[in-house]
Structure formats: structure tokens, C-alpha cells
Amino acid sequence: MANYKTLFISDIHLGTRACQADMLLDFLRHTEAETIYLVGDVVDFWRIRRGAVWLQSHNDVCQKLLRKVRKGTRIIYIPGNHDEGLRDYCGTRFGGIEIERQAIFETAAGKKYLIIHGDEFDVVVRYAKWLAFLGDRGYEFALWLNWPLNFVRRRLGFGYWSLSSYLKYRVKTAVNFIGDFEKNLAEEAERQGVDGVICGHIHHAASRDFGPVHYLNTGDWVESCTAIGETESGEFEMIRWLDVMRARERVAPAEAKPELKAA
């Protein structure tokens, strides 16, 4: 069991086929924290309007989070653009989960961070929402293509490979968009007089400095399965759960060998 002071998770996209709910459940079962920030796009209402893909594992994620609240974990939910309807309820609680538009978080080391989903600094979402919907459909199609591609790769003995992720990091306009987004968020953090910013939205886990500002992006639970953890000393860790699970799978056969010999 990994223990953190604070965990930051975003872009789960419950209600979609691409949501890696089983991996998120595994993560929630193997980690504990005093506080969890859900940094937007937890439920994908854009996709639900077109017909939800809501599996039992999606229910299990919701129940697991509510169970953590009952056991004393503080959970703050900051809605994103895919669950923006919940922004009407900022300042209220749902099942013990606090809903806020954004937050200022202070680490154990005394540094202050702006917690925000980040769509407010996405020019496409702000000024051309129809284009954002179109882009979302294109991204959804690329995610769908991951399934048949990886079915073939598994048959050939290869590991997981994400076409959507490859396109995101290779297409020049996408790379430029990510760079502009990160810079804009860092500038907003500096404007608000804080030491850093923790956001989501672009499904690109990152930790980098822009001058005096520390920029952190939680990534997502669609492709990368990443989160950010604050340790008791106030340091941040980028948690890549796919790597954790693979390491666990490598250790399991090695631990089983002595038992086989004894038998």
C-alpha cells in the first residue's frame, strides 16, 4: 500500500469505452491519501449525451471514492469541460465530496499551487466549442482504433501501443498546442501569485518549470493512467500506474518459484 498526503487525478472519462476504470480501481485499492483532488472530466457528459458506455467497473470507481470519503478521506472535485454542468453546484457537497470551481492548495513544504482543470485556457474550447466537439470525436475515433491495433499486436507478441498518443506527440500543431497551453497556465499561476499550477485537460502528464512557476499536469485515465502524489515532506511524484502494474507482474512469478521448488 502506497501512502500519500495528497493525490491529484483527472480526466477519468467515466461513461466512455476508453476509460481505464479497472486500472483506476487497482490504483485506488493500492494507495491511500488524506486528501484527493479530482481535477475535472471525471464523468464524460459529452459522451453520455450520445449514449453512455457505463460498465460495472465505472460504478465501482464511484463507490470506491464514496467509501474513501466515509473512511475520512477529503475529496475535492473541480469540474472540467466534459462535466461542466457540475460547475453550477460549486460550493456544495455531494455524498461528502466537495465541489469547487478551482482551489489554492498549500503543500507540506509551504508552497502554494493553483488547482484548475485548465479548459479555461484552451482557446478552442473557449471560442469555438463546435470545433472542440469535432476534435473530441476525432480523438474518440483514434482511441477506438487502439483496440483493433493492439489486438493484432498482442497476437504478434508485442506490447501495448497507443495510436492516439503517438499522433498527439508527433503532429506539429498538437505539440504546439500543448506548449501554448502549458505556458498559459504557468502565466495564470504567476498572475495569482502562487508557486505553481496543477491541472489536467490535455491528457499529457508533465512536471516542468516555467521560470519561477512549477507546472504539473496529472495526465489521464484513458491512455497514460497517471496521477500526481504529494509525499509527507511536500514533494511531488508522478505516478505512472501502468509501470507499477507491469513491475508487480514481473515480481509475482519470481516470488512463486521458491514455493514451486518446495512443492
Lowest mean pLDDT among 77-91, 154-168, 223-237: 154-168
DSSP labels, 73-136: -EEEE---STTGGGGGGTT-EETTEEE-S-EEEE-TTS-EEEE--SGGG-HHHHH-HHHHHHHH
Q: Over 60: is that where the pLDDT of 123 sits? A: no
Work out the burial of residue 251: count CB atoms within 10 Å of its CB; fewer than 13 is exposed, 13-18 middle, 19 or more buried: exposed
Q: Over 90: is that where the pLDDT of 225 sits? A: yes
Q: What's residue 137's pLDDT?
A: 58
Across the range 201-221, mean pLDDT stands at 95
Provide the grid cell at 98: 466537495
The fold of the 2-118+197-262 domain, in CATH, is Purple Acid Phosphatase; chain A, domain 2 (3.60.21)
Query: What is the tens place of the pLDDT at every residue in 72-111?
Result: 999 999 999 999 999 999 999 999 999 999 999 999 999 9
